[in-house]
Structure 1
Amino acid sequence: MSATSRTDSATPARAAPAGVPSLDVDPFSNEFFEDPHAIHDTLREAGPLVWLDKWGVYGVARYAEVHAVLNDPLTFCSSRGVGLSDFAKEKPWRPQSIILEADPPAHTRTRTVLAQVLSPTAMKGVRDHFTAMAAAKVDELLARGSFDAVADLAEAYPLSVFPDAMGLKQEGRENLLPYASLVFNSFGPPNQLRQEAIERSAPHQAYVAAQCQRENLAPGGFGACVHARADAGDITAEEAPLLVRSLLSAGLDTTVNGIGAAIYCLARFPDQLARLRSDPTLARNAFEEAIRYESPVQTFFRTTTREVELAGHRIGEGEKVLMFLGAANRDPRRWENPDSYDVTRRTSGHVGFGSGIHMCVGQLLARVEGEVMLAAIARKVATIAITGPVKRRYNNTLRGLESLPITISPA
C-alpha cells in the first residue's frame, strides 16, 4: 500500500514473528483514511492477529480480539501510550493524560471523579438546554435550506453547548477543535500529519492549559466541578487541571464526528431517515448506529505488560498492539449485515466509544448531544440531499468529514 503521509526514516526494520500473518498495510496513510473498509476486510480475513510490516507492530481487527484487548488493561496497558509512541522508551509530547494514558489503580481514582462530574444526573441537568439549542439550530438551518453539514451543524452545534457546559470563557474557543485534532493526530506515527499538528500546536496548547485553571472556569460548569473534587480530597490540586484537559480533548471531537457521521448516513440512506421520522424515539439508536457504522475513532494502541497468548500466538512484553475499532464494528462474525446502516439495529456492544475501563470519558455528553440533534431532525426535516463534493478530513486516529454540502427541506 502506498503511504503518501509517511516518513521513511521512521520505518522500523523488524521481521514478522513466526506464524503471524504479515501485511504491507499502512493504517496511517491517506489511502487508508479515504476508504478503510476494503483494508479492514483484508486485516480481518488474514487472521485474528496480524503483523503490520510498516510500523513493526501487531494488529487486531476482529471484534473478539479487539474486545478482549480493551477489556484486559492489566495485560494490555495504556500508561505506555495509546499511540505508537512507547512512553517507556520516549518522552510524551505533552504531560501524560491521567485518564487516557493511565492504568489502575491510579486510573480508577481519577476515572471515578470524572464519572461523578459527568454522571447521568449531570446529563439530566443539561439535557433541556441541549434540546432547545438543537431545535433552534435545526430551525436556523431549515431557513437557510442549503449549508455545510460539518461546519454549520456537526461543529456548530456542539460548540454552541459544550464550552458553556464546561464553563469556558467566550474568548479563544476557536482553539478547541484544533486542539482535539492535534491530540488524536499525536497517537499516530511520526508522519506528516503528526509532525505538522505538533508544530502548529503551541497556541492551542497554551489556550487549553489556561482554560483548565480554576480561575478561568465559570462556577457550576463541569470544569469547576472537577476542581471541587480536589477540594473534597478526591484528587490533588495538580491533577484537577489535567482532568479538565481530558474533558476538553475528549468531550468535543467524538460528538462532532459522531453527529457528522449520522447526518452523512441519513443523507445516503433516505429509507433510514424515513424510519427515524416515523419514530423519533429511535434518535439515540440512530446515533449509536452511526458511531458503529462510521467509527469516528478508528484505532488505538495498547502495550503488553508481560508475555501473553493472543489468538494462539505468544506475544512478548513491551509489544505495541494496534486495535482497529472500525474493523471490529463491521466484523461479520459479530454483526449481521455489518455494512448496512440500520437505525433499528441492536447496537449494544459496539466499540465506537471503546470498551472496558477506558471507554470514552465524553461518551455521555456525545450521546445526549447526538440524540437530541437527531430527534430534532426527525421532527422537523423531511429530506436531506447531498449537493456537492464530500471531502474527508485526515487524522491519524479520527474518521470524519471536512465538508458535507447538503440541502434539507421542512417536514
Structure 2
Amino acid sequence: MSAPGFATSGVPHVDVDPFDMNFFADPYPAHELLRETGPVVYLDKWKLYGVARYAEVHAVLNDPATFCSSRGVGLSDFKKETPWRPPSLILEADPPEHTRTRAVLSKVLSPTVMKGLRDRFAAVAEQRVDALLDKGSFDAITDLAEAYPLSIFPDALGLKPEGREHLIPYASVVFNAFGPPNQLRQEAIARSAPHQAYVTEQCQRDNLTPGGIGACIHAHVDEGAITATEAPLLVRSLLSAGLDTTVNGIGAAVYCLARFPEQWQRLRGDLTLARNAFEEAVRFESPVQTFFRTTTREVELSGATIGEGEKVLMFLAAANRDPRRWDKPDSYDITRRTSGHVGYGSGIHMCVGQLVARLEGETMLSALARRVASIEITGEPKRRFNNTLRGLDSLPVTITPA
C-alpha cells in the first residue's frame, strides 16, 4: 500500500487491491488507510470509487435511486456486460420491481413465520451441542457453523435431502462472482455448472415440499403477486442469503467467543445476550465484507463529485469498525448496542435472510452457553478466501461440559 495521490477532482487515489490474497488475510490495516485517507477514495487497480467510513457507506446504501443495484452489486456492470447467471430479483434489482418481489419474501420470512420455526431450530441446536459434547474436540466450522444451518434451513425451505452438498459451494460461487476477473472468480464460475444445475432444479415448484418456505413463495404466483418465471429465482435468492452468510456468522461468533473468554462467561451468566452476541460478531467480523453500487447520475458525496455510471465499492467491514461511529470498534463486546451496523447492509436491500440468520445464531449460541463451560482453540484457524465473504475454512476447538 502506498501513500495516496490526488485526483484533479480532489478525490485521493489509493493503491489498495481489496481483492488480493494479502488483503483478505489481514484487511484491517488497509481498512484504516481507506477510512483515514478520505470520505471517498479512488482505487486505481480496478478504476472505481470506494467508501470505507460508516457515514458514507450508510448514505450510499440508503439512496438506491442514485446508487443502483440493477447494474450489478459486483464489479461487473450489467449495462456493459452479460451477467454470469440470470440477475437476482432481489439483490440485483431496483424499485419498483424490487419492491414487488421483496414484499413476497418479507411475507414468507416474516417474524410470525420465524416464531413458528423457533422451537424446531432450538431443538436441533440442542441435539447438535449434545453430539459435539460427546466428541469434545471438533472443527467448529464443518461440525457446527456449517452442519447446523444445513440441518435446518434446507428443511424449512422444503428442499429434498439429496444433493444438499451443492448448497455451500453454490453460495460461495455467487459471492466470488461479485469480485473482479481474478483467479477466485474464474475458478468459482468454471466449476459452478453442477451447483447451478442442482439449484435451478430444486427451486422449481414440483421439487419443493408442500408447506415449506419455497412452496409459499410459489403460492404467490397463484395470487398474481409474482410470475411463474420469477418464483424459482426468488427461492434461489434464499439459497445464498439464508446459508453462506449464516454459516460465516455462526463461525465468526464461535471464533469471537473462543478468543474472548470473558465475553463467553458473560454470555453464560445471561442467556438473553445470545442474540446480541451473534449481532456483535456480525459487526466485528463482517461475514459480508463488500458490495458495489453503480451511480445513476453525477452525484456529490461528502465533497467528492462522482460521475454517472461509476462503480462505488462499499467497505461494509471497514464501516463496522469506524471509530467515528463505534466506541472501541476493535473490541468484541456482547453488551454493545449493535443496532445500525451494516453487516447485513441497510435500507431497502438489507439482507433478506437476516431474520433466519439471527434466529439460527441466537438458538445455537443459547444452546452452547447453556451446556458448555469453555471453548478452547486447539489448532491453527484457516481462512476461506472469497471475493466478498470473510470466514474460516477450519477452526479446531475443544469444549468442556458445564
Please tell me the TM-score bracket, short chain as reference.
Answer: over 0.9
1: CA distance, partners of 2:228 / 2:123: 35
Q: Counterpart in 2 of 1:276?
A: 267
SS, match of residue 228 in structure 1: helix
2: CA distance, partners of 1:54 / 1:296: 24
Alignment partner of 1:155 is 2:155 = no
Alignment partner of 1:362 is 2:366 = no
Alignment partner of 1:106 is 2:106 = no
Select which of 372, 389, 396 maps to 2:363.
372
Q: Counterpart in 2 of 1:302?
A: 293
Instruction: In structure 2, give the amino acid aligned to 1:185.
Output: N
1: CA distance, partners of 2:114 / 2:371: 24
Select which of 391, 395, 398 maps to 1:400.
391
TM-score (structure 2 length as normaliser)? 0.98
SS, match of residue 366 in structure 1: helix
2: CA distance, partners of 1:282 / 1:16: 47
Q: Counterpart in 1 of 2:42?
A: 51
TM-score (structure 1 length as normaliser)? 0.96
In the TM superposition, residue 95 of structure 1 has moved relative to its aligned partner by: 0.4
Which deviations, in whole Å up to 9, do the C-alpha atoms of 1:202-239 show, x marking residues without a partner? 00000000000000000011100000011111101110
Q: Counterpart in 2 of 1:249?
A: 240
Which deviations, in whole Å up to 9, do the C-alpha atoms of 1:28-64 show, x marking residues without a partner? 0111111111110000000000000110000000000
Percent sequence identity over aligned pairs: 77
Contact 1:354 1:360 in 2 (8 A): yes
2: CA distance, partners of 1:40 / 1:122: 38
Contact 1:17 1:51 in 2 (8 A): no
1: CA distance, partners of 2:243 / 2:268: 26
1: CA distance, partners of 2:352 / 2:248: 15
Contact 2:9 2:304 in 1 (8 A): no
2: CA distance, partners of 1:380 / 1:26: 43
Alignment partner of 1:88 is 2:82 = no
In the TM superposition, residue 18 of structure 1 has moved relative to its aligned partner by: 2.8
Q: Which runs of 4+ in 1 moved over 6 A?
A: none
Q: Counterpart in 1 of 2:156?
A: 165
2: CA distance, partners of 1:376 / 1:398: 26
1: CA distance, partners of 2:316 / 2:305: 22
Q: Counterpart in 1 of 2:58?
A: 67
Q: Counterpart in 1 of 2:306?
A: 315
Contact 1:134 1:373 in 2 (8 A): yes
2: CA distance, partners of 1:122 / 1:291: 23
Contact 1:267 1:384 in 2 (8 A): yes
Alignment partner of 1:24 is 2:15 = yes
Query: For structure 2, which runs of at least 5 residues remain unmatched after alignment?
Result: none
SS, match of residue 293 in structure 2: strand
Which deviations, in whole Å up to 9, do the C-alpha atoms of 1:62-88 show, x marking residues without a partner? 000000000000000000000000000
Q: Counterpart in 2 of 1:209?
A: 200
- Indicate the RMSD between aligned Cα atoms, in angstroms: 0.9
In the TM superposition, residue 19 of structure 1 has moved relative to its aligned partner by: 1.2
In the TM superposition, residue 16 of structure 1 has moved relative to its aligned partner by: 4.5
1: CA distance, partners of 2:262 / 2:234: 42
Instruction: In structure 1, give the amino acid aligned to 2:151.
Output: S
Which deviations, in whole Å up to 9, do the C-alpha atoms of 1:179-199 show, x marking residues without a partner? 000000000000000000000
Which deviations, in whole Å up to 9, do the C-alpha atoms of 1:292-333 show, x marking residues without a partner? 000000000000000100110111100000000000000000
Equivalent residue pairs, number: 399
Contact 2:140 2:395 in 1 (8 A): yes
